[in-house]
Structure formats: structure tokens, C-alpha cells
Structure 1
Amino acid sequence: MSKKGIHDSSNSYQYKALFDNSTIGLYRTTPDGKIILANQAMVNMLGYNSLEELTKRDLEKDGFEPSYPRETFKRLMSEYGFIKGIESAWKRKDGSVLHVRESARAIRDDNNEIIFYEGSVEDITDKKIIENQIQESEEKYHQLYSSMNQGLALHEINLDDTGKPVDYTFLDVNDSFTTLTSLTREMVIGKTVREVIPDIEEFWIQRYGEVVLTGNPTQFEDYSKPLDKHFYVSAYRTKLNQFAVLIENITERKKTEIYIKNLNRVLMAIRSINQLIVKETEKELLIKKACELLVQSGGYKYAFIVLVDSSKQLELFAESNLDSQFTQLIDEIRNGKFPKCYTELWDSTEKISVYNPKTHCNECAIAGFPNEDVTKFLVGKLENDDKIYGFINLAVKSDFIEPEENYKVFDEVVSDISFALHAIELREKREKAEQDLIEAKVKAEEMNRLKSNFLANMSHELRTPMAGIIGFTRIIKDNYKDEDIQELSALILQSGSRLMETLNLILDISRIEAGKMYDEYGEFDIINTTKDVIEKYRQDANEKNLFINTIFKTGSIKFVHDERLLYQSISNLISNAVKFTNTGGITIEICEEEYQDREYAIIKVNDTGIGIPESKLNLIWEEFRQASEGLNRSYEGTGLGLTVTKMFIEKMDGEITVESTIEKGSTFTIKIPIPTHTTIVQKPEPEQEAIERPYILSVEDDFGSRNLVKRILRELYNVELATNGVDALEMIKSKHYSAILMDINLGRGMNGLEVSQEIKKLPEYINTPIIALTAYAMAGDKEKFLANGCSHYISKPFNTEELVGLLGKVVDESL
């Protein structure tokens, strides 16, 4: 059941019990005259058969008090918010008239708008008849007063020498008077009120004296402390210095009114607490405001809440209107000493306990609590989802609502606050988890940045010397025919290529993980790409006496994507096949298949090698993992080739699978979707013109790289060298260069990008190609250089064909 439902159910139960048992008429109406609630006493008083029949009566349209206009009633309620003891004549259902005394109050919403009237009605027809008869005839008065329900007393006022009323004497009383007041005739006749009731409140004498002296009758309600009763009183002068008093014991009615008032206060406090727990997100403010609401709105004498941690240590404390007597108790709780009521509740399945401070708190720090206005202590355990958050304590006033209803309301308060504390804790845990995730994300991003910087630096530091090593080794191999030099050069090139292959694989992994693998789309033929890869490894296969066979079931398969991805994937598979095959050979099979109305290219690389154990077929796709691992691994390699291959194939929306048998070989199958048709616009071949040898400027701070570039290009171009940005800018002012080779890391001073941007500011160099020739090859480096002054990019180490080919192209285009 929802909280609203719980409140509605509780409210209905409390009002029903009150109405059913009350002997006076109770009602609730809307401002426009609709009767929405009345008890049976009210129904009977007005002569109706049922509440349903009574509620059809429209007070605005029908009216029922010929002597008391409803507009007057509404005006008084609007101005004062209540009426008290108003007497008027009402009509019953059959049209007969009854005299009533009515008290009512206006109930307002949070916007101070009246939402309904709530009141009590007493049938005083007999009293009115008696009053009229007393005024008409003394004899009739004596005949009636002894049998009437109201108490009747005749008094004589006693005046001092100045004529001031100071006492009054009992002349006569009827039986009802003795019943209502518990004062017998023998106790009062002929005696003054001060003799009968020595501690009589002065206001009784003053009011009666005013009636006698002025002759004006009066009606009022008040409480007699000595008699401990509430009375409704009508007083009027009968003769000189004498007056008559009609009394009714309205103690039960007043208790009912107080009950309704306190109950409404508590229910309003619960409503406010429900609103509080929805919007309050801090424990400290929640418990502080809850205590204030329970005292200020709910009518409790005081309230305090203690929150503790799992080890029963005080965490938070809040109070409202707390007596100084509790200072020692709170200090003990702060020091980890629980009062007996807390200890009992902690281990109990019950949520609330009720204590009488005069009998149950003798062992507590508040023993001998002196406040006579407090009759009960309510202690509640704040618990939700099997976690105890602390305790709430309320003090109940002596005139508060009935205990049974009070406990039900308190139970609801305990449940509401417990739920709120649990909700706040869940929110705090969620926010902490979110903050932890944010911090972890920031840390991961920082680690990724550090990793990227590290790889970038390592790439530069490895590629720069490797450019010189591989470049000069090729020059030596091409120019010296000595067998030893040829053999050593080949070994250097083989080792250098292996190192560059490892570096490239690591960089590919870094690019993919960073999401910075920039594709260069174009149309290519899968068959031709595969043939190029095969030729790359044919020499290696021949050296191991392995065959490389091809089965191409189609002459051409056009595909649009980044050719590098497929080239590298097939290269990795054939490289592994050659590496792990000792006898037999490798067969590459390519065909086309149709599946679910879509064409696929199927590429199979089959070898007769050592095979892969079934238990390690999934392991081979992981980074830095191999089927043979540990100190005694049988084959070299980083364990990255298949990881990169799988990433590349999936990037092309394809998939790669493997089948393998130990000592019989493995078959890797690539399956990628191919488009049904493509259109590629071919660029026209530029016309060749006879030109003189162009001038090329190489801006490079590394000695080895400078000399390598000059050696490679000296037969084709006039190559001039600059070791820093300042020299380069001076040289371009004195001569026009057809192309510029620009290293990015130039050491101290300007870097390559800054130099390139300065060059592009010169009108004669706006269209001059600037080729970034650098060891920076991390994800995004190429794009960064091309966006900041460079027109082309080659990563170190480069091969001669790559550099010569690109220069030939850009120089021809610029001429």
C-alpha cells in the first residue's frame, strides 16, 4: 500500500471510531453546503434514517436554521476561523424545530483556503424550553428544574463594601447539578462557593457578578480545575442580587475536540514529513526538520533523533524543544552508552516501545524526570532493509490523542523516516559509485594519454635510427657484391624488418584501442592484393623448401575499403603459416559465396604446419598470447599478429575463424561482405615534360637520416640540407624548392610543423608540397601533420621505393 493509502486508512479508522461512540452530533461540510460526513447522533438528531439520506440535504439551497442565516455562519468562519457555543433553531426532516448549540471551526489547506467546516451540535431544546418557562413563571421553573437534564443552581451574589462581587452563596440546586458536579445539596446549600471550593478560579465569580449587576445574560464554556470538568454555562439574573445558572458537563465533548485537534496536527505533521523525505537529500537536515515538524506541527512535547553507525557509535543527533534534563543522557549516547530502551529495541523484532517516565526510567540518566505535562515516552527504532540507522524519541503530552491511535501514528512516523534514511543512503552510494567511475575514467584517460605519449616517443626514437640502419644497409647491399657483405646486409635487413614489423603491430593495436584507426577508402582487387602478399613471402617459403599454392576460383573480386587492412591481415596469416610450417607448404584459396542475399569474399590460408591445440584456439586472438608460451617457447613473435588481424577483419564487417589439428596444420578463414557494384573515377595520367633536375630541401636534425636521404635522391634531385627551422627559412628565401622533406622533431627551437606553417605564409610556397618525413607514427599523428602545414606523410623507417615514388609524384604535379 502507498503512503497516501496508509494515511487515508488510518484517518478513516480514527474518525469512524470517534463518530460511532460520540453522544453529540458531529459533522463535516464543504463551504458550499455539501454534507460530507456526520455521525449517527447527528443523523438521529435531525430525524433522518441514514447518513446517505442526510447527505442529500443541501445547506445552501434548503437551509435548516430559520433563526441563524448561513451567510452569517460563513462570515464568522471566514473572519475568525471558528464559532463557539452559538445557539440557534434548526429544522428536522419532518419540519419540526429543535434548538441546538453549535461549535465549529474552519479547516484550511496549505494555501490558507477553507476546504471544509468541522463541528459539534448539541440538542438544547429542553434547556431552551426550561429557560423560557423560568422567565415566564417562577412556579413553572420550580416544577421543571428538578427533573431537567441540565444542572440548575440558584445563587446570591456577595458584594464587598465597594459593590464589587467577591463571592456567591448557593441557594438551591437540582439533582442534575449534583450529578454533574459531584457536589451534593448538603455540601453546598447555604454556603459560599469559596467555602465549597476554596481554590475556585476568580473568573467564575467575576462573570456571575457581571450578570447580576448588568442584567445581561451570558453563555460560555470553561474548565473548572478543582472539579476537573469542562462545563457549558448559561447564567441570567432572576431578581435583585440573585442569578440562576444552567450547566452541562461537556468534558467528553471537549476531549473529543482536543482529540480531533491533536489528531489533525499529527496527520498534518506526517504529511509534512512525507513531503520532507521526498525533497530532502541530506541526513542531518532530514532529522533536524523532522524533529521540528513533530513538535511544532505535530504537538509533541519534544523530539530528538539519534543516528548511529554499525558499531553503535553516535553519527548524527538532532532535537527540538528538548529539556535540559536530557543533557546527561545525550552525553552518554555520544560516549557509546545506550539507555536501556535502545538496547532492548536493538535486539527486538519490534519497532516501537512506550515508557512511563515515572516508572520505567529509574535506571536512566533522566530518572526523576520532573515534567508533569509528559505522560509517555515513545521510542522508535529507525530500521529499513535489515539495517538499523538509529532511534527517534517523542514525549507525549497529557492531553494528547488516545494511546492506541498515538502508537499507530508514531509507527507511521518511524517507518517514514526509516525509509527516507535508507533512500538517502542508496543515493549516496550511487553518487559515490558514479564519482568512482568518473575518477576511474579520468585515471584511465590519463593512463591512455601517458601510454600514447610513451608509444609516440618510443616510435620516434626507434624509427629514426632504424631509418638510417635499414636505408644504409640497402645501399650497401645494392652497391657491394662481396658475398660476406651481401649475407651480413641481408641479416641486418631481416632483423630490421622484424623489429619494424613488431613496432608496427604495437602501433596498430594502439590506434585501434584509441579509436583512431583512420581508414583510407578506395577500390582494389582482393585477388591482386593477395598475390602481392604471396610474392612478399615466396622467398622465405623457398628457403624452407615449402610450396605456396593458390586456388583462385574467380579472376577478380572488387572491394571498396582500406586496402592496408586486408593486405596486413593476409600478410599476418601467411607469415604465421611460413613460420610454423616445417614440411609441406601453404595453400591460399579465394572464392565468392552468397549468403542471405549478400555476396561474401572467402579467403582461406591453409598450412601443413604444427597445428594448434584445441584448448588454445581462443587464446591465440588475445594480445601478446601464443599457443607456445613461456621460457621454452618454440617460435619467435610478439603474439600480436592474430590480434591485429581479427580487429582489422571486424573493422571491415567481416569475421575470421580457425580450424586446426595438431601435427596436421591449420586453416584460417576470412569472410568479408563485398558490394554488388562500385564506381571509381580514375584520375588522368599527367603529361610528362622534360624538365631539369628539381631542387629538394631536406630539413632534418639527425645526421644519419640527412645523409641517407641525400644518398637515395642524389641521382634524381638536387638535395640541399637544413638542420633546423631558422636555416630552412633563410634558404627558401634565396631559392625556390620543388618539394620540402620536413622532419617534425627538430630538437631545440622551432618544430617541423611551425616551420611548415611559416613556409606556407610565403606566396611562392603556398602550393609547394611539404612531406612530413618523421618517426612519429602514433594514432592521429598523420592527420595532425596534414592539418597543420604538411601536404604528405611518410613514416620512418621508409624504403627507397616509397620515398622516390612519392617525390616523383608530387614534384611532377607541382611543375
Structure 2
Amino acid sequence: MENKIKILLLEDDDNDALLIENILTTSDLNVEIIRAKNKESYLELLDKLDFNIVISDYTVPHFEGIKALVELKKRNKNIPFIFCSGTINEEKAIQCLQLGAMDYVLKDKIEKLIPAVKRAIKLVTETLEKEKLEKELIQFKRAVENVHEVIFYTNPDGIILYANKAFEDIYGWKIEEVINKTTPRILKSGLYDKNFYSEFWNNIKSKDHFVIEMINRTKKGDLIEIKNMISSIYDANNKLIGFISIQSNISERKKKERELQRAKEAAEEMNKIKSYFLSNINHELRTPLISILGFSEELMNEITEPELKEYAKYIHEAGQRLNQTLNNILSLVELEKKRIEIKYESINLTELLKDLINQYSKEAEKKGLKFITKFESHKISIHSDYEITKKVLSIILDNSIKFTNEGGILLSVRTEKINSFTHPVINIVDTGIGIQSEKIEHIFEPFRQVSEGLTRTYEGLGIGLTIAKQLLDLIGVEIKIQSQLNKGTMITLIFPTVAKEEEIKSEVEKRKITIVEEPYEKKSTNPEILLVEDNPGNRMLFKKYLSEYFIVDEAIDGLEAIAKAELKSYDLILMDIHLGSGIDGVEAFKRIKSFPKYKNTPVIAITAYGMTDDREKFIDAGFTDYLKKPIMRTELIETIYKYTYKNN
């Protein structure tokens, strides 16, 4: 005990009291002695203060030591009582011990008082520790009994030695019915073969901590799905003495996951049917359209009568409109089937826009609109797909002219500094009908238009911006829309940066300064994962999925991922591919893999957009695996588990 031992000394003789105080305070004992001379002061001090030990003379005027002992035991049975007397016969000594005294010491052998007090101190210490342990055990037992999870303890052979009330609530077995029974024998669902349980026991005995989702059976025979977390327990000599199992009933959660999976599969099937239908419609309409466009063009060239020539012109224009609609349908089908192949190359935006400007300036002129262009430089480079970029710009310019009846269109190209990197930016501004603020969020949904229903003002299927958005997502271009009803619309396209090496290195160094202020130390044996994802909602969802099994650190972009990877050590990295501004996931992956400590670290690519051969493409690039969004919880956990626990 670190604090002083408080001793209450009952002694009427001043010389004896001084002798006792002197021998105790000059020893190696850390004591504080408070003296009582008579019955009144003794009882007052006993009631007023807390003492660890009482030392008493056997005879005190008008009071006896035995009575002092009795009064103490009335108040606290655990405080040691030592007699220190000049004369005490054996019979009285035995009586004192029978009444609860710990020891007695004769004053002519006062030196024996020190070991007697030491024995008392040891008893006090052990008693206090025992009381503390008993109190903690009571609190722990109450806590265990009140949790909703099943908790039970077994010996190394699986014999149940303890189970909490939740075991009874979930499985229907009375606690006394399962004590000394073998698990999982009494809980077996009948759905697994012997190999399953053989592997189950091998995992339990070979790992200090094992987690599994499985199906058990209640006493009534009902099947329930549980998450079973099993930990090994060892004694002071590191000998296995048992297992503790914590189980949660996840039947409802698994039911919802299956419902979501069925809904996902149904949606995918409907998409296949829709795509098949649209493909067939496209084919059936395009065949006669060849004749309509071809013969109408011939008639326009051969007919001389003005009225008939005008009719042929209207037929040809209607055919062109139908052809454009079919092209958009085909693009939508190809996007849904992920059949669009992206061919990245270095492109000069100024050169790409020349043909488009020539075409759409003429279209604007036909409607009496101005078409103004503004370029920051004669050469602004992007790294993208030429045809996809051109198609997207065609869709947006076509819409701008279509929905503008007076005023004009401004097309501007510039560069802008965003998050320390230079990005090419295109603005297309029109003075058209604009969009109501509450409809802007729906503008990229298929078959949605500014005006809808029987009273709609403009023709078309309403899939142009849907196609544009999906194509832009494929090549990593951000699109923003600002609009006011009856005033016009501004569409902004922000292209990925073509970052210079010195820019990347400089920005990574800046990020490293903000990430940590002290040397990094791993604080857990659980696998630690770096989640690289620019979408806050996705980060929150993935972290919720994974935090139960892993330690999850986050990076909002490729630059932060590189900085954190350099400063810390992760067991696995989840790398989103499209990371907004800055560098993409592939570039971040390459740089992280260049660090020697990440040579063998699993890195899993995750992305929402791609083609059927994406897995092969990412594996060829060096990624360990590939997951396509949306990712189901079970699929994500199982994939990570495969790579983080494969050597366990």
C-alpha cells in the first residue's frame, strides 16, 4: 500500500504509548498513529475516522481491551486488532483470538510488534484487493448479463461453463440446461457437413481471434443467422484454458441484404431486357430510315418544283432527326452494356473544337443567334478520348442552340488552378429558357426534360444529357450546371489535370505536413486499411462496413493516399479510380507501389464505371483485385478478408 497505514492506538499509559509510537515510526513501516486514552475517545475516533489497524492495551481504566475489540467488530469486521499488553495469560490470549483479534504482543517483547503490524498490513492489502476484485466481478457480471449479445465461455473441448441471459433469450435454452453441454453440438443447424465443423475447430484452435457468420438452430428448431466472434483465453503460463464466444443475431440484417441482392439482380435483368429491346428497335427503325434519308436526298436534288422540293426537305430533316434519336439510343445501350472502349491520347482542345464551332455557328445563325468563341490560348492540352469528348460537346452545344430562341451562345476555353493543379475548363453559356432550380438535380436522369408531358415545348427523348454525363464519367471529366429560368444556362466541364512531376511531389509534401505531427505507431494487431475515395458518402458507408473487422484510415484523393502511404504502413489499400481533381487512382497506385514497403501489399481497385474487361485491365496494371460499384457489404468484407488473413 502506497499511502500511510492509519493506526488507532488505545493506551492510557503515556510512557507505553510513547514506546509503541517510537518503535513503529522509526521502523521501515509507513504509518500514522492516532492515540486514544480511554473508552470515550476510542469510540469517538472509531466512529469519526477510518483506520487500517487497531492496537490496544488489554486493560484500560473503566474499559477492557476485549470490549474495545467487540466495539470494533460491530463496526468493521475486517480491520485487524492487535493486543499489546504487559500481562496476558494464555487463556485470555486464546479468548481474544476467538473473538477476532489477529495477534497479541507482550510489552516486554515489544520488538515483536513490528512483524505483527506487517502481517496486519499484508492482511489489509489482500482484503482490500479482494474486495476490489469482487466488486469488479460483480459489475462485470451485471454488464455481461445485460448485453443483448450472446456471451458464453467454454473449456478447450467446447464444454460450456458459463452463459449469459441473452443465450436463453436468443436460443431458448435455460442456462442450467446448457452448462456442461458441448458447443456447437447443441446449436448445429444441420445445414453444414462434418468438414465445415472440422475447419471451424481448426480455425478456433489456430487463431487467437476468429470471426465467422453462420446459421445455428434454437431449442424450438428455428434457424437463425449469427455473427460469431471467438477468442482464445490463456492462463499466466500461456496455456490455453478455454474460449469465449460473443454472438449477435444478424438474421434481420442478412434478410435485408438478400432482399437488396434480389432487387439488384432484378434491376440488372430489367436493364438487360431494356437494352435488348432498344437494340432491336434501333435495328428495325434504322433499316427503313436508310431509304427515307437516301431517297429524300435524291428527291431534293432532282425535283425542280419549289413546293415539292420543300416537301422533300421536310422529309429529309425529319429523317435526320430520327437518325439522331436512334444514335442517342444506341449510345445509351452501349453505355449500359459497358461496351464503349476508351482510347486516351493527347488532344489540343482548340483543334478539336474547330469543326464543332463551324457546324454549330451555322446552326445558331439559322435561328438568328450569335455564336461567340473565346480561347485563352491556341493550344490547351487534355489527355482524353477524342471521339467521346467531341460527342459530349456536340450534345451540349446541340441542346444550347435547341433551347435558345434569342440572344446567343458563348463557348470559352481556359485553364484554372484547382487544388494546386492546372485543369483545362470549357464553359458553354446560353441565353435560353433555363432550368428551374428544383429540376437541375434531375437533368441527367434518362428520359427527363425541362418541359414534360402533353404540354412539353421541345421535342426529343430527353437522353442527351444522360449520355453526356455517363460519357464524362467514363473519361473522368466533372460537369457543373448553373441555370436560371428564362435567363439561360452555363455548363462547365472540368477536365483532369495533366500534372507535372514537380507539381505532384510538391503537393504530396504539403499533404504530409498536415497528416501527422509525430512518428506513426501501429496501435492494434487488426489489419489496417487505407480507403482512398473522393465521395464522402461512399467513405462513410465503406467505413461502416469495415470498422467492425479492420482499422480503417481514409484518404480523399490520390495525393493524400500517396502521402499517408509514405508516412504509415497499411496491410491493404482500397483504391478508387476516379478521384476528381488531381491524379487518378491508377497514378496513385503506381507511385505507392514504388515504395519498397508496399511491394507485396494488396491493392484493390474500386470503380463505378468500366467495361466487361475491366478486371483484366486492372490486374494487368498490377492491382491485386478489382471490385465494381455498387459493392455489397459481404462481397467487400470477404474480398479484404481473403488478402489480409490469407497467411493467418
Fold in common (TM above 0.5): no
Whichever of the two has the greater Rg, that structure is 1
- TM-score (structure 2 length as normaliser): 0.40
- TM-score (structure 1 length as normaliser): 0.32
